[in-house]
Chains A and B, each alone.
Chain A
Amino acid sequence: MTRSSKIFRYVGKRLLQGVPIIIAIVVINFFLLNLAEGDAVDVLAGEAGSATPEYMEQLRKRFGLDQPLPVQLMVYLKNVLSLDLGYSFRHEMPVNALIFDRFAATGLLMTSTIILAVGFGILLGLLAAMRLNTWKDNIITVFALITYATPLFWVGLMMIVVFSLNLGWFPTSGMTNVAAFYEGWDYVVDVSRHLVLPTITLSLFYLALYTRMMRASMLEQYGQDYVVTARAKGLTERRITYVHVLRNALLPVVTMAGVQVGALIGGSVIVESVFAWPGLGMLAFESLFARDLNLLLGIFLLSSMLVVAVNLIVDIIYCFLDPRIEVN
């Protein structure tokens, strides 16, 4: 069997394996969320301020919340399998429409963050390792150390203070300029301008992490025997660094990046709140307080699917980077 057909088989197998994992996640989440006191009716009644117990009973019946938990779970699972994630009482919209709308925003933020963090992390780490113990290395190391240790929300606030309020280079919050109704190219530019500060804020921590990892990984690889062989063959240092060492040094960084995509969704809650970015993180945060369990479950489901998918992608990238990994 050729390598590419092997990879196809592997992808198919992994996708199939993902199904039971995601169902298990749905079930566990369902019970976890139901462990919390109170439901959507309590919140609605509390906000209305004058709901009678009879009215609350009626509401529960309408939402199906009076049924025993296992029945509710079965109903929910059945709906999920038919791609219906239910109805958000809070937003009075189907969950599907709500989260797919918000997912685009989060997806954009995450993608740009990963590209920035991994790309620059690798670049800076490479540079630091090549200029070991010089001023360049020192500056990069200190920069990585500081950003690594700074809390996300504080970076976000400082970004707004410096670049939005004082310098006025970027907008303070949101994803678009609501009043402008841009279309076409103008819209793209507008969104990009809004994207800059949240992306930098979210990526700084990971940037620092990957820089440090890449530097350590490069230094480790420089000490390997095959580097001595390459020197003994009379190759230039340039060739040794960029062809021999770099590819080997990338492996642990790619692994780490894959693992952290899940964590990135968590991190985006804070950043989306600070920058009022209309994404999933903010939505999850709101729905948690509104006891909007349908919506919350939908978000969790989407995130878990995302993590499964990203892990698969990373594993495939790994196959191409490292021929020692066998796909089967």
Chain B
Amino acid sequence: MTQKLLSINDLSILLPIGADRQYAVQDIGVELHAGETVCVVGESGSGKSLTARAVMGLLPAPHVRVDRGEIIFGDEDITKVSYERLRGLRGSEISMIFQEPMTALNPVMTIGDQIDEIFRYHVSMSAKERAKKALSLLVDVNLPDPAKIIDAYPHELSGGQRQRSMIAMALALGPKILIADEPTTALDVTTQAQILQLIKDMQKRLDTGVLFITHDFGVVADIADRVVVMQDGKIVETGTTKQVLQTPSHPYTKSLIAAIPRLKPRKARSRAAEVVLKTEGVCKSFGGGNSFFGLGRANREVKAVQNVQIELRRGETLGVVGESGSGKSTLARCVIRLIDSDEGKLQLGDVDITKLSRNELRPHRKRVQMVFQDPFASLNPRIRVGDIISQGPILQGVDQEDASKRTYELLDIVGLDRRSFERFPHEFSGGQRQRIGIARALSLKPDILVADEPVSALDVSIQAQILELLDDIRAQMDLSMLFITHDLRVAAQVCDYVAVMQSGKIVEMGPTAELFANPKDAYTQSLLAAIPGKDWHFSEFKT
């Protein structure tokens, strides 16, 4: 047995009075050994992040505090040590990296200065030595041009580079423990794969124990030695990765694993003849305006969408996949003319909508509706759910009574209580709100549903429900769907056809099963290769 680094024994963390439960974390026990990766998995609100914070002594005091239990590191109990000792441990013995490297780094300080601080507050070294050490750290984490990055500010780096810098910072003093709180959740899939590899490499080199917090079983399959599954502040299951992923014993673990979208692409259904949406040569650029009086340089131009051809037939789902900045959301907005494209032709059914004015377009608007990513921001908080759903039809000339009747039916269809009609959006959970968003989109009886990352803000079990709902509705109403996603697992599950976008262009398009089995473009290949947990066959369970 390797050396035991950390043991959390019967730890309970108290939430402030008035929270929805008394304990954030209740009587949990976790052990971490040198060179080992323990994944703490759970959905939002399971208490996994607070567990991580507690190990660093970083609970948001005084409202959230340790009630009982101990966190033994070496021969000390972290919950009891003095503030000075705790400060000494942080960053040198136990380090942490975070989910969003943009906000986790100070925006007005250079990367070099932020690394330098660690040395200044933990060891005595000359400024020259510190600078040299910082530079070698940046080299270690495979950053390109480290001499330049050391003087760069966080906003000048890409997401992956920022996370690499965070890792360099965290590993500066060769800590015994690295706590990683969803470190790859905000990153693109290819970057995620690189960062996971980097963490593994660094761990091997420094024999670090990694406590890895995540919600993604794909990541767990790739990186974990042991897994701890948390639900509502309690540990429901612990075991080796193999045990937990293949023979889970707890029903909650089973349901979580069952909810992971399988990487078995669906078979494309037979194609209908009717084309509901067609685009030809759609282009859209941003910026590039001239500057005032011709002084200064012209602004940078971003070609968000370049020469895109798509065709959507009745009843099918076309997935548009790509990483952030690939132009997939811009394409979706161009297609339904929320923004006007610079060039190209848009054909909606038999109508050419490219050049229609606002007034001419209005009767056609109802034929395409959109479901948005963020169920919190996309619903007006001051309008009742019933009105949100019925507003569209009323604007299109349906009378009040019929619209209300239809709204009640829609609430049934999306699986919400009829009493929701009188409530406000904030009274609902994320998944329920997404159902409201879907009901709103359906209220106009559209031919086409444009879904822009409709499940990426949701927990995996909720995600599965929403995907199922979308599929049911599509079949029931013979809808066509344009499905924008960054998640290839989701795309495999719901799409008949997939278009892969990279920097504004569609690099490959085809039937999902074919494209997954035999990707032709190098970029598609790299995307598929980067899917976390792709080699793992999660067992099927009945839930």
Residue of B nearest to A12 (CB): B295
Chain A residues 1-34 with CB under 8 Å of chain B are 9-10, 13, 16-17
Residue of A nearest to B166 (CB): A229
**Do residues A225 and B56 form an inter-chain contact, with CB atoms below 8 A?**
no
Chain A residues 311-328 with CB under 8 Å of chain B are 321-324, 328
**Do residues B106 and A226 form an inter-chain contact, with CB atoms below 8 A?**
yes
Given the contacts A224-B103, A225-B98, A322-B108, A233 and B121 also touching, CB distance less than 8 Å: yes
**Do residues B295 and A229 form an inter-chain contact, with CB atoms below 8 A?**
no
**Do residues B92 and A234 form an inter-chain contact, with CB atoms below 8 A?**
yes
Chain B residues 141-196 with CB under 8 Å of chain A are 153, 155, 166, 169
A235 to B95, CA, bound (A): 12
Chain A residues 164-205 with CB under 8 Å of chain B are none
**Do residues A225 and B107 form an inter-chain contact, with CB atoms below 8 A?**
no
Given the contacts A234-B88, A234-B118, A324-B155, A229 and B292 also touching, CB distance less than 8 Å: no
B residues less than 8 Å from A248 (CB atoms): 106-108
**Do residues B107 and A13 form an inter-chain contact, with CB atoms below 8 A?**
no
Query: B296 contacts the other chain (Cβ, under 8 Å)?
Result: yes
**Do residues A233 and B107 form an inter-chain contact, with CB atoms below 8 A?**
no
A16 to B87, CA, bound (A): 53
**Do residues A233 and B293 form an inter-chain contact, with CB atoms below 8 A?**
no
A residues less than 8 Å from B153 (CB atoms): 323-324
A328 to B297, CA, bound (A): 7
Q: Which of B107, B118, B122, B297 contacts A226 (CB 8 A)?
A: B107
Given the contacts A233-B91, A233-B121, A236-B87, A228 and B104 also touching, CB distance less than 8 Å: yes
Query: B310 contacts the other chain (Cβ, under 8 Å)?
Result: no
- How far, in Å, is B378 (CB) from chain A's closest CB? 24
A179 to B121, CA, bound (A): 61
Query: A232 contacts the other chain (Cβ, under 8 Å)?
Result: yes
Chain B residues 290-311 with CB under 8 Å of chain A are 291-293, 295-297, 299
B residues less than 8 Å from A322 (CB atoms): 107-108
A10 to B91, CA, bound (A): 41
A residues less than 8 Å from B433 (CB atoms): none
Given the contacts A13-B292, A13-B296, A225-B100, A232 and B117 also touching, CB distance less than 8 Å: no
**Do residues A233 and B117 form an inter-chain contact, with CB atoms below 8 A?**
yes
**Do residues B108 and A321 form an inter-chain contact, with CB atoms below 8 A?**
yes
**Do residues A234 and B58 form an inter-chain contact, with CB atoms below 8 A?**
no
**Do residues B90 and A233 form an inter-chain contact, with CB atoms below 8 A?**
yes
Query: A230 contacts the other chain (Cβ, under 8 Å)?
Result: yes
A234 to B83, CA, bound (A): 10
Query: B72 contacts the other chain (Cβ, under 8 Å)?
Result: no
Chain A residues 275-325 with CB under 8 Å of chain B are 321-324
A239 to B292, CA, bound (A): 42
A226 to B155, CA, bound (A): 13
Q: Total A-B pairs in contact (CB under 8 Å)? A: 87
A10 to B295, CA, bound (A): 9
Query: B89 contacts the other chain (Cβ, under 8 Å)?
Result: yes
Query: A61 contacts the other chain (Cβ, under 8 Å)?
Result: no
| Count of residues in A whose CB is under 8 Å from the partner chain | 27
Given the contacts A234-B92, A236-B87, A229 and B293 also touching, CB distance less than 8 Å: no
A269 to B293, CA, bound (A): 37
B residues less than 8 Å from A236 (CB atoms): 87, 121
| Count of residues in B whose CB is under 8 Å from the partner chain | 34
Given the contacts A225-B104, A226-B104, A235 and B121 also touching, CB distance less than 8 Å: yes
- How far, in Å, is A5 (CB) from chain B's closest CB? 12
Query: B96 contacts the other chain (Cβ, under 8 Å)?
Result: yes
Query: B109 contacts the other chain (Cβ, under 8 Å)?
Result: yes
Given the contacts A13-B292, A13-B295, A232 and B95 also touching, CB distance less than 8 Å: yes
A residues less than 8 Å from B88 (CB atoms): 234
Query: B244 contacts the other chain (Cβ, under 8 Å)?
Result: no
Query: A60 contacts the other chain (Cβ, under 8 Å)?
Result: no
**Do residues B118 and A233 form an inter-chain contact, with CB atoms below 8 A?**
yes
B residues less than 8 Å from A243 (CB atoms): 109
Q: Which of B90, B100, B296 contacts A328 (CB 8 A)?
A: B296
Residue of A nearest to B89 (CB): A234
Query: B105 contacts the other chain (Cβ, under 8 Å)?
Result: yes
A244 to B56, CA, bound (A): 20
**Do residues A244 and B91 form an inter-chain contact, with CB atoms below 8 A?**
no
Query: A78 contacts the other chain (Cβ, under 8 Å)?
Result: no
Residue of A nearest to B106 (CB): A226
Chain A residues 227-256 with CB under 8 Å of chain B are 228-236, 239, 243-244, 247-248
- How far, in Å, is B210 (CB) from chain A's closest CB? 15
Given the contacts A236-B121, A248-B106, A323-B153, A231 and B90 also touching, CB distance less than 8 Å: yes
- How far, in Å, is B57 (CB) from chain A's closest CB? 9
**Do residues A234 and B103 form an inter-chain contact, with CB atoms below 8 A?**
no
A321 to B90, CA, bound (A): 29
Q: Which of A228, A234, A247, A323 contacts B91 (CB 8 A)?
A: A234
A244 to B121, CA, bound (A): 14
**Do residues A17 and B292 form an inter-chain contact, with CB atoms below 8 A?**
yes
Residue of B nearest to A244 (CB): B106
B residues less than 8 Å from A229 (CB atoms): 96, 98, 104-106, 166
- How far, in Å, is A225 (CB) from chain B's closest CB? 4
A274 to B296, CA, bound (A): 47
Q: Which of B96, B100, B291, B297 contacts A232 (CB 8 A)?
A: B96
Residue of B nearest to A328 (CB): B296
Q: Which of B122, B169, B293 contacts A17 (CB 8 A)?
A: B293
Residue of B nearest to A323 (CB): B153
A228 to B98, CA, bound (A): 9
- How far, in Å, is A308 (CB) from chain B's closest CB? 15
Residue of A nearest to B295 (CB): A13
B residues less than 8 Å from A16 (CB atoms): 293, 295
Q: Which of A10, A226, A239 contacts B105 (CB 8 A)?
A: A226
A239 to B295, CA, bound (A): 42
Chain B residues 114-134 with CB under 8 Å of chain A are 117-118, 121-122
- How far, in Å, is B117 (CB) from chain A's closest CB? 6
- How far, in Å, is A85 (CB) from chain B's closest CB? 27
Q: Can you give 6 contacting A-B residue pairs, CB < 8 Å?
A: A9-B296, A16-B295, A228-B98, A248-B107, A322-B108, A324-B155
10 closest Cβ pairs, A-B complex: A234-B91, A234-B90, A225-B103, A233-B91, A232-B96, A323-B153, A226-B106, A225-B104, A229-B104, A13-B295
B contacts, CB < 8 Å to A: 56, 58, 87-92, 95-96, 98, 100, 103-109, 117-118, 121-122, 153, 155, 166, 169, 291-293, 295-297, 299
Beyond A234-B121, A323-B153, A328-B299, 5 additional pairs, beta carbon < 8 A = A229-B104, A229-B105, A232-B90, A232-B91, A323-B107
